[in-house]
């Protein structure tokens, strides 16, 4: 089907009672405003990048500050910047509570006063131009499920039940509606309904100041599509679609992963492809892999999705000194095949907690990981369903464990995400945590894993070869440098090699490249017989490794590893 036929089919599924002329009017509008482009020759660029996730303000104040650090990021070895929320917001949820979808926060533009769109486009456009000049792609977060209660349309909607924008959100006097929808912020919120003070309540899946959009109203779908198109036109390379499993609500269901939610995502994808093919749509879907893959569709929904279950299993593998958790998670029984054009995104840490939701870990796994990594009681998040701590804290500031964790993430499968500061071992930020509690009124321990970078101090630390930050930075940057020249890590197949359980070894292979990776998960030195004696091995990167050529034995220090190119 062509674009128009696809959108018509989605329309009839979502809005069978609505006149199709509404869709035709929308399509005419976007065709006039956003000229369709030819197909990109770099449409699957997201398979070959290393992503670096950052908050613009916490990284270096504003877009001018971020632009000044683009050389640092390029030299580090990353090739795609994921900007955590940058859109206008009261900042009660780190920017995921969006007040205006077509405005960047004024403080990120280098001013605290309101600016025109022309100024916004000049400042942000300059940043994009400089990033693209350095071959850095740029994506950013957009919350499509909910907004801030300060959004102009919600402020209008809550005025009265007769307000024309009332139906943009979900209202009820009966708070038993959607009672099967689980409470996502257990321990922080006590209901999915918030009183409006007049007998009416509005529905929310996250914080009570984040009302959910009502996608049963087609005007909401049109407006959100135009939000995406506006930023696409300015040159953004993609979007991280926040909280997409919850878009469509139906009474008597969990309100998650409903079939019409997938139709909404297909609509977004089709509109973006119509204007500029290759604009990434990245699914943030905290679900089991067999549910997550549905958001990739047949290559017609999101281009990529996070592999949420792999993240905690990498931590479990290191703590248990066992390859089994990773092997089982990546087996076909747990991780289904994905479309050829699609990609998994992998990560160790991001801006959220180390999530242990029972959606994708067992109660046994949750307890094991929590017991082994929640080293301080204040790190606990959502009553045992997560741990709020930076990677260095989780690994008790052990450089070899940190490096091993990165070896797993950078070589196992898909596109890796580096969280800002982890490249130099950034620690939990107690001061920032306390500041945010005062600002938001919420004791959200995820603020521990955020915080600012003190560049002046960092530059001093990086010059000291014995400094913890310097040691971590040298290791991570060298690993990224070793990875950047090879496409096999982002595109190759993964075949596990039969080894003792304390070793996790695998081949990553394409038609052009073949790489052997061996990770010693053990806290003891281990010896392994060279598995490919008929082939020459070129060292790509090793840590805690020695080769006994006389015995054809590989010796790995505790938590040591090696990456080898096979000729």
Tokens of 353: 């907690």
Predicted confidence (pLDDT) per residue in 487-534, tens digit: 999 999 999 999 999 999 999 999 999 999 999 999 999 999 877 766
Q: What is the mean pLDDT of the chain?
A: 94
Predicted confidence (pLDDT) per residue in 393-413, tens digit: 999 999 999 999 999 999 999
* Location of each CATH 3.20.20.80 domain in the chain: 45-145+216-421+431-484
CA dist., res. 322 & res. 104, Å (int) = 46
Q: Is this model's pTM higher than 0.85 or not?
A: yes
* Location of each CATH 2.60.40.1180 domain in the chain: 492-566
Residue 514, φ and ψ in degrees, nearest 5: -145, 125
Q: What integer pLDDT is reported at residue 514 of this predicted model?
A: 96
Q: Give yes or no: 284 in active site.
A: yes
CA dist., res. 168 & res. 125, Å (int) = 31
CATH class name, domain 45-145+216-421+431-484: alpha beta
Residue 526, φ and ψ in degrees, nearest 5: -135, 150
- The active-site residue, picked from 242, 357, 385, 429, is 242
CATH class name, domain 492-566: mainly beta
Q: Give yes or no: 321 in active site.
A: no
> Cα 457 vs. chain centroid, distance in angstroms?
28
Predicted confidence (pLDDT) per residue in 309-352, tens digit: 999 999 999 999 999 999 999 999 999 999 999 999 999 999 99
Burial class (CB in 10 A: 0-12, 13-18, 19+), 291: middle
Tokens of 459: 């530059």
Using the predicted structure, report yes or no on whether residue 364 has a pLDDT greater than 80.
yes
Task: Name the more confident of 485 and 65.
Answer: 65
């Amino acid at each position: 089907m062509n674009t128009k036929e696809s959108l018509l089919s989605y329309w009839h599924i979502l809005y069978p009672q609505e006149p199709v002329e509404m869709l035709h009017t929308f399509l005419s509008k976007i065709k006039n405003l956003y000229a369709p482009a030819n197909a990109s020759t770099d449409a699957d660029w997201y398979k070959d990048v290393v992503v670096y996730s950052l908050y613009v303000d916490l990284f270096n104040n504003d877009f001018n500050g971020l632009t000044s650090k683009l050389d640092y990021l390029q030299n580090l070895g990353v090739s795609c910047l994921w900007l955590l929320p940058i859109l206008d917001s009261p900042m009660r949820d780190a920017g995921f509570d969006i007040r205006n979808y077509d405005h960047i926060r004024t403080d990120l533009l280098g001013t605290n006063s309101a600016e025109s769109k022309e100024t916004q486009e000049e400042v942000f456009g300059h940043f994009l131009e400089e990033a693209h000049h350095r071959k850095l792609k740029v994506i950013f977060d957009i919350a499509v499920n909910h907004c801030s209660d300060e959004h102009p349309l919600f402020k209008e909607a809550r005025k009265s039940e007769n307000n024309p924008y009332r139906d943009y959100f979900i209202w009820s006097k009966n708070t038993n509606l959607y009672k099967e929808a689980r409470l996502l912020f257990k321990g922080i919120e006590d209901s999915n309904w918030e009183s409006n003070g007049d007998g009416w309540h509005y529905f929310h899946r996250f914080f009570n100041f984040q009302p959910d959009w009502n996608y049963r109203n087609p005007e909401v779908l049109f407006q959100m599509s135009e939000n995406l198109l506006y930023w696409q036109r300015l040159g953004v390379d993609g979007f991280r679609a926040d909280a997409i499993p919850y878009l469509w609500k139906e009474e008597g269901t969990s309100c998650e992963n409903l079939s019409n939610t997938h139709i909404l995502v297909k609509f977004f994808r089709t509109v973006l492809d119509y204007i500029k093919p290759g604009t990434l749509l990245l699914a943030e879907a905290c679900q089991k892999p067999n549910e997550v893959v549905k958001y990739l569709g047949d290559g017609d929904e999101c281009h990529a999705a996070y592999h949420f279950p792999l993240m905690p299993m990498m931590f479990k593998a290191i703590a248990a000194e066992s390859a089994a958790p990773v092997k089982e998670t990546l087996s076909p029984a747990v991780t289904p095949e994905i479309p050829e054009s699609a990609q998994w995104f992998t990560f160790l840490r991001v801006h959220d907690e180390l999530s242990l939701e029972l959606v994708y870990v067992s109660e046994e796994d949750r307890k094991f990981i929590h017991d082994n990594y929640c080293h301080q009681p204040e790190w606990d998040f959502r009553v045992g369903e997560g741990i709020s701590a930076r990677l260095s804290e989780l690994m008790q500031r052990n450089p070899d464990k940190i490096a091993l964790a990165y070896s797993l993430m950078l070589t196992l499968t898909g596109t890796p995400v580096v969280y800002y500061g982890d490249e130099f071992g950034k620690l939990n930020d107690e001061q920032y945590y306390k500041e945010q509690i005062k600002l938001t009124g919420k004791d959200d321990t995820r603020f521990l894993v955020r915080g600012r970078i003190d560049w002046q101090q960092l530059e001093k630390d990086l010059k000291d070869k014995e400094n913890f930050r310097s040691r971590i930075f040298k290791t991570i940057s060298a690993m990224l440098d070793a990875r950047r020249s090879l496409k096999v890590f982002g595109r190759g197949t993964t075949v596990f090699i039969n080894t003792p359980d304390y070793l996790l070894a695998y081949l990553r292979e394409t038609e052009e490249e073949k790489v052997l990776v061996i990770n010693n998960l053990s806290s003891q030195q281990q010896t392994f017989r060279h598995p490919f004696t008929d082939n020459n091995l070129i060292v790509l990167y090793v840590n805690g490794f020695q080769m006994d050529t006389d015995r054809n034995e590989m010796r790995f220090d505790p938590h040591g590893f090696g990456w080898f190119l096979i000729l």
